[in-house]
Structure 1
Amino acid sequence: MTLRLGRHTFDDDATLMMAIVNRTPDSFYDRGATWAEDKAFERVSLVVEQGAEVVDIGGIKAAPGVEIDAAEEKSRVVDFVARVRETYPGLVISVDTWRAEVGDAVCAAGADVLNDAWGGADPELVDVAARHDVALICTHTGGATPRTRPYRVEYDDVVRSAIEDTVGYAERALAAGVARESLVIDPAHDFGKNTFHSLEVTRRLGEMVATGWPVLVSLSNKDFVGETLDRPVGERLTGTLAATAICAMAGARIYRVHEVPETRETVDMAWTIAGRRRPVRAIRGLQ
């Protein structure tokens, strides 16, 4: 299916790198390295040069912490979105927010995608996406409250729950007027899940792909990787790329990442092995 992210369209054989840009002073991975606006803009410039098709701009870290209201969140992302849009008209701009108020403001500033990492916590977000004709990422969190950590979460079947919740969210968005080709589902590794849940979702991602909705995965340096390999943040690249290869073989379309070139090569190799992509050149044994 042709994928439409705001003003941009992509063929059904395209995989996309969504580079993370945090406008926060306390993100788990970069520890505020892109908190200052100019540093965040340098990050955008770098990932564009590295080939990212999408940037995902966030104004609040996912973990518990200082309360950030909608006004403060908007102050961190709205003007920045406008600056990125003016400089990079061909770039897909996503904003990581669950709030309809923030979503409305960033779409007016030029965002193409609303990445709702908290699974529809604000039911009005679908109306915002429909009104602005932008894409919406529909995630599975098991009903978790935004900015809370999972605690003894249980599922009869975590993959079935992920499929039912994300497809249900996508269908609600469709009914609200969001275009079918602008809806993406995301199992949301770590969110509302323990490590065994995230591993199960990775192993069975093909079941989500089989729903026919485009699938996004956000694996980069997540805790399920760290716990599996006993590696701290900053030493999880190898594990992240292994999980990425599994999801790529299953057919995930969008990859939310910190490391763009490494992920691109991993995805391209996996898609080529799977027969969805041709080698750039193949002359060995032919000449």
Structure 2
Amino acid sequence: MTDLSKWPCGNQTLNLTETQVMGVLNVTPDSFSDGGHFIGHDQALRHATEMVDQGAAIIDIGGESTRPGATPVSVQEELDRVIPVIEALAGRVDAVLSVDTSTPEVMREAARAGVHLLNDVRALSRDGALEAAAGLGLPVCLMHMQGQPGTMQLNPQYGDVVGEVLRYLGDRIAACEAAGMKRQQLLVDPGFGFGKTVGHNLRLLNELDRLQSLGCPILVGMSRKSMIGDVLGKPVDQRLYGSLAVAVAAAMKGAAIVRVHDVAETVDAITMINAMRQSGQDPAVNGEPKA
């Protein structure tokens, strides 16, 4: 059984007995929240370093926007965006480096550049991705998405959103195991906002703990998303407090990793949740002498 206090990520480890914060680094011109802000090499490196200093345990580097209606990018363009950033950060920041990609060529080049984790919104369903990931041996996050980014939010429908997400992720885990990967190297992400209405998203959050039955740590990404805007009536640049609320709720429901834009504020909130959990496990806090 994998020791979650030292969950392996390449030559790094993560303590997944506590919820960890993943900082978003989009080196794209068109991401929904911070598109174009960090596309320059120097800006990207400064922002990544700042997020690590603020407490991010993981930096997730993405070169292809997957927002609703996003335009696909070529393999070469994605490589040109992410590989120089990974190369510059590898060995220089004390954090796990993740690459947000579905493209086999990008996975391979990112691994050579020093990335520790593959984060795939298409759950290794793109041609060649499963074989590439299995050959690299890196941990992988498998995400659920109904449809494709260009059309996924047009009319998403489910009979039972939680049950269908569970079945899909279970099937992708089985495909990974059939390709020679171990369940212990997999994470799962229910894909908030990826082919889901606000009602679907809220139900998934409310029943997030059901995903623990898959036997993999849970990663969630809800930061600044439209589900928050729909509930609060706030534009994307005014969703900090809503983002903190759903990050805390996810942690309470068993999320091992929360993927966020506002790292410093989220680290404070999650640190309090981790401390509360620890108090329940520490005999001294409960008035009992330590062994």
Is 1:260 equivalent to 2:258 in the alignment?
A: no
Distance 1:163 1:17 in 2: 23
Question: Cα gap change, 1:123/1:136 in structure 2, threshold over 3 Å: closer, same or farther?
Answer: farther
Distance 1:168 1:276 in 2: 37
Question: Cα gap change, 1:176/1:277 in structure 2, threshold over 3 Å: closer, same or farther?
Answer: farther
Is 1:212 equivalent to 2:215 in the alignment?
A: yes
Distance 1:232 1:7 in 2: 39
Is 1:234 equivalent to 2:237 in the alignment?
A: yes
Is 1:78 equivalent to 2:83 in the alignment?
A: yes
Q: Deviations over 1:166-217 (max 9, x none)?
A: 1221221122122332200000100011111000100000101233210000
Is 1:52 equivalent to 2:56 in the alignment?
A: yes
Determine the structure 2 residue equivalent to 1:99: 103
Distance 1:278 1:232 in 2: 40
Counterpart residue identity of residue 118, structure 2: L
Counterpart residue identity of residue 164, structure 2: S
Determine the structure 2 residue equivalent to 1:113: 117
Counterpart residue identity of residue 96, structure 2: V
**Unaligned 5+ runs, structure 2:** 286-291
Determine the structure 1 residue equivalent to 2:288: none
Determine the structure 2 residue equivalent to 1:285: none
Q: Is the contact between residue 121 and residue 146 of structure 1 (CA under 8 Å) also seen in structure 2?
A: no
Q: Is the contact between residue 18 and residue 54 of structure 1 (CA under 8 Å) also seen in structure 2?
A: yes
Determine the structure 2 residue equivalent to 1:180: 183
Determine the structure 2 residue equivalent to 1:13: 17
Q: Secondary structure at the match of 1:128?
A: helix
Q: Is the contact between residue 18 and residue 274 of structure 2 (CA under 8 Å) also seen in structure 1?
A: no
Q: CA deviation at 1:13?
A: 1.1
Distance 1:50 1:12 in 2: 18
Counterpart residue identity of residue 138, structure 1: L
Distance 2:214 2:174 in 1: 12
Question: Cα gap change, 1:189/1:11 in structure 2, threshold over 3 Å: closer, same or farther?
Answer: same
Q: Is the contact between residue 70 and residue 149 of structure 2 (CA under 8 Å) also seen in structure 1?
A: no
Instruction: Please list, as runs of the form range in 1=range in 2, the aligned pairs for 1:32-51 lying within 5 A after superposition.
Output: 32-51=36-55
Match of residue 30, structure 1, among 24, 27, 34: 34
C-alpha RMSD of matched pairs (Å) = 2.2
Counterpart residue identity of residue 115, structure 1: N
- State the 4+ residue runs in structure 1 displaced beyond 3 angstroms: 146-149, 271-279
In terms of mean alpha carbon deviation, does 62-71 or 193-202 score higher?
Answer: 62-71
Q: Secondary structure at the match of 1:201?
A: helix
Q: Secondary structure at the match of 1:261?
A: helix
Q: Aligned pairs, how many? A: 281
Q: Deviations over 1:109-142 (max 9, x none)?
A: 1111111012333142222222111111101112
**Percent identity at matched positions?**
31
Is 1:157 equivalent to 2:153 in the alignment?
A: no
In terms of mean alpha carbon deviation, does 106-115 or 266-275 score higher?
Answer: 266-275
TM norm structure 2: 0.89
Determine the structure 2 residue equivalent to 1:221: 224
In terms of mean alpha carbon deviation, does 199-208 or 79-88 score higher?
Answer: 79-88
Distance 1:98 1:230 in 2: 32
Determine the structure 2 residue equivalent to 1:248: 251
TM norm structure 1: 0.91
Distance 1:95 1:77 in 2: 8
Q: Is the contact between residue 37 and residue 80 of structure 1 (CA under 8 Å) also seen in structure 2?
A: yes
Question: Cα gap change, 1:277/1:147 in structure 2, threshold over 3 Å: closer, same or farther?
Answer: farther
Counterpart residue identity of residue 161, structure 1: E
Q: Is the contact between residue 28 and residue 38 of structure 2 (CA under 8 Å) also seen in structure 1?
A: yes
Distance 1:268 1:211 in 2: 26
Q: Is the contact between residue 6 and residue 182 of structure 1 (CA under 8 Å) also seen in structure 2?
A: no
Counterpart residue identity of residue 217, structure 1: V
